Structure 1
Amino acid sequence: MVIRTLCIVCCCLLLSTAVTFATPQRTVTDQLGRQVKLPTTVQRIIPLGGAARYLVYLQAFDLAVGVEAMENRQPPASSRPYNLAVRSRADKLPVVGEGRGKPVNPEAIMALRPDLLITAEADRAQADRLSSITGVPVLALNYGGRGVLKPELVIETLGLLGSVLGREQRANRLIAELASQQRELERRLSGVKTIPVYVGAISQRGSHGITSTDADYYPLETGGALNLAKKLGRGGHLYIDKEQLLVWNPPVILVDASGTELVRQDLARNRDFYNRLAAVQTSQVFQTLPYNHYHTNLELALANSWYVAKLLHPQRFSDIDPTRKTDELCRLFVGIPCYAQLQREFGGFGPLQLQTRSADGR
């Protein structure tokens, strides 16, 4: 078995080397600063670590020749619209690894003879090692890390992949649209007074409860809100003490739909705590869409921005229907509407009815 495996690896490496000499090459710099030599025309790709999302964004998933099990063995999830959009094709592709940071299968990769591996979950050493083992160039992306949305890195990612995949026109359209969305939000919110908001139940490698938050939560950054988690002086995802939430006692609380059930379970155990929150007392707790699922789903993050902006500043957004805006953004980025399925699976946008009394009325 060992000899057979070595033979397969050697043959694949020899074939890869032969193709390298015969195919026109170019060198690009990936988002980790690595110099990557790859074919001038890329025709066979294996996306890893959530990179399939960007193939869908750039209308290039037809170039995928293999995927992780996350893309075709996990149940379809509306919180990953890109997967819904290409699931019928993804289901037919060979699997090269489990995903979620688990090791890939080098033999499975080499057997598919890809021109390029694209990964969103590798550091420099991991990317170099994967390329060395498989003999396939590895393009590493960095668009903010898990659960982090940095528009400047998203734009850089779209531009890089647009060039590598020959999808420059599509990349430029998405970049222009992202900039347009942000400008329009800024225009409408010009001069408004920001409203203190706490967002909880943020997903991070799974679902979490009310104490899971994000100091850089994009929809608050762009929706005319003051993110109370920023007061802690730390960025990104973090956990707070429940007592801190009582100290802040925000007028508005947002709950990420991926953690709503955990919040309800916590409510049943800690009714007195929730009863002390002003937002609960005044029914100012609202659910947002879960946009962190195997990295950030840009269209859902933008949809949340519009929802939050209208929720906090309705007079500036009277013409905006967040559900229609969500479908508009999903069509733009992945080619299909997605709000109806999100609503079926998670409940969609809207007030979160936290029943703070027990069944006997206490």
Structure 2
Amino acid sequence: MEGKCAGGSKKAEEARKDVEEAEKKKKVNEEAKRRRKSIEDKRAVEEQERKRKAEQDRKIAEDALKIKEAERQRNTEAQRDGCTYKTFLNCNPAEFHEDSDPVIVTNWLKEIEDIFEISECSSRQRVKYASHLLKGEARHWWDMIKIAHGDDVASVIIWEKFKDLVMENYCPQGLLEEEFLKLQQNDMTVPKYIAKFNEKARFAKYQVATEERKIKRYIWGLRARIRGPVQQARPSTFQEAVELALMVEKENNRQLKEEGDNKRKRENRDDDMKRSKPIVVKWRMLESINHAPYARKNTRGNVGMTIVIIVGSQATRLKNVKLSGFVLNAKVRDIRLFDCPERKPQEAQEKVGYNGKQVEYKDTQPRKTMGRVFQLTAENA
């Protein structure tokens, strides 16, 4: 028994040692992995830093080349005589008196730049020549600049700086963006609104920085009758929004023209009816009611049916007759009732109405005598 117990204890001890050894190996492997990961992370950081420094060095080198090229160009231009002021004026540059319209200001600056190129004006002459084109209030503004920076400011600052000063004074960026945000179509056509939108968008680049923002701002400025259909279409590009607005405006104009043509036709038809004789139409009996006799001179009594004559020359009505319908959306003006000779009840009689429109007349004062209600239907005699 003692031998068996000793053998069991030995095996248990060996198993425990194996477990401890496995745990040690596991810890060693984990530590090795952690060290490798740390080394890899360190190398990645070093690589990123190396790339950043290389990019920085590249930019520094590019800037140095640009500075060197600019210096060379200045030296080359300095060696040239440039152009005389007379040569510059012979190109007919426009004067600038002061204007808050950014388009006019930028167009003037662009025109002067074109003249610089044509006249071969050197960079050291540009501000000096351009500043002499400032007149009126613009000249007073430039005099204040000279007081602040010295009389030789025209020889010191470069052309790009001069342009910035002009734009900042006459076309502040905040004002330009405000004007753009207030832009609406109003009574402009869609093509004119598009031109104005693109014109002002040049000076509010942040407001149209993305296609989505540009589309939203463009649609917002459209007239309500155009804006609704364009919004419902959900255009994905600015060009699509422009084309949709043009299509909607074209359809609106077509409908307005059609409505105007129909109105003129109705007016012409009304004028023709005033000048023409009444139109004779057929009638049919609907039902019998008590109807008061209406005696008329030179008639054969009130036996049979009643002839209704509609004349548009006067605005009188019989008191005992109520008009329950409309003719061409206008009330019938003159109604005359005449007794007709005796005829068979179902025999077709001729009634008079306007232009084939269905009209109904009812007697509003029932009496003892039996009469009829008639409905006039359109059918030319």
TM-score, normalising length: structure 2? 0.22
More helix by share: 2
- Identify the structure with bigger relative contact order (alpha carbons < 8 Å, sequence gap 6+): 1
TM-score, normalising length: structure 1? 0.23
